[in-house]
Structure 1
Amino acid sequence: MDGCLHCVFTWQKACSIFHTQGWKHLRRSFSTEKVIHKDHSLPNPSWSKDLRLLFDQFMKKCEDGSWKHLPSSECKVPQRIHSFKTYFLDSKPVKEDQLSQARPFTRSYEVGQGFEYAMFYNEDEKRTVCLFQGGPYLEGPPGFLHGGALATMIDTTLGVCTISCMGLFMTANLNINFKSPIPLCSVVVISSQLDKVEGRKVFVSCNVRSVDEKTLHSDATGLFIKLDPEKSLT
């Protein structure tokens, strides 16, 4: 149940503002909490030519409003900490200094060494696309990306897709088929979509393909459950 934890708490506040007021108001709201935001989903020197090209292509798609670029940071938003306590820590208190040092797992590596990615969301199609480049610290078999690193990005992408569409949810089940290894430091495209909703249950799926779309590296399905503030998960 904890696969998309940091993503969920960062996005709880984001989703409500995003759906009603848009990203400009979202950034303004966060800025009132005196948090310095660096968007880590923007190009940096570690990005390969393929990642930069794909990023530019999707930014072009954003010009007509059909797609939106989703910012990503390692900030420690007080709202996220409060949400964490509300839903999970009623009977398991955690020290304030421990929470203050927390950051999203996918943004905890040095630039270029771990998870480099950018996400885009299409509200009409209920789709999220993640452009992902796995750095040298994510090695599994020699020269290839670790399966757990890919699973992390699949869970994150499916989670962002679910939360962008439906609000505050959490991973309940994740099924991944690994079909072809991903060369370390190469770029893949993780395309996810919302499939169906049954009460508090949301079913999503995705595939992971090479930049030229000729290689299917993986596909996956996920089940996410809407959080109920009246019920404790502890």
Structure 2
Amino acid sequence: MDPYVLFTSSLIDSPNPSSDLKINNLVFMDNSTLISSSKAGMEFMLSITEEFYQINNTSANHNKYVLITNSLLLTSNSTLFPITFNLDLSSLNSVPFITITPISMTTSFRFLGVWFNIKSSRDFVKKQLKRKCCSFAVTIRPAKLSPKQVVYLHNAVLIPKLEYRMQVTHLSESDCHLITRSIRSVVKHKANFSRSLPNPILFLSQALGLINLFAHQRQYCV
């Protein structure tokens, strides 16, 4: 592969125009997050990113940019108008502006795998957790597994996934009870227990030792 050629004249003022830099580099980029307390600060950082892309012979799809802000009164019924960020032009940046439409205050967004919401709504995360539990129960129910094997998979595989998604979302005991209802049902089924069996028995370490999501949250997620 031919190396990228960085022309000195486009980087710095050099009296020696022949001293171009030949560098073999291959850059892979995933999501980047820019955080600023003002529009001017965001414009400054966006200008830097465009210069970075030019230096590294790469680019970003501006249509995939997502803007989250708490400075606009945006609701689910608000009309979302695009915001234009004016960039500083330079020898490394020829993009004069970037236009991004902000998401509403009620829309959840993901950062480092964890979902946030400007309005601090927990509905999105609760739906995710319930969907995870239901999917686990549907997969486990027809499988030829003993009750202890099911409990092990729940405690060692499912609980860490739920815990990660709950890092910034504290749920009430009733929320946790509803979310994990499908889990308790499948455990009772595998153990040939009556559906009317009191749930606390499932959580006893002397019995099956099923992890109680609410108790686990209070111990590790606070």
The TM-score bracket by the shorter chain reads: under 0.3
Relative to total residues, which structure has the larger helix share, 1 or 2? 2
Relative to total residues, which structure has the larger strand share, 1 or 2? 1
In the superposition, the TM-score normalised over structure 2's length comes to 0.25
Query: Is the radius of gyration larger for structure 1 or structure 2?
Result: 2
In the superposition, the TM-score normalised over structure 1's length comes to 0.24
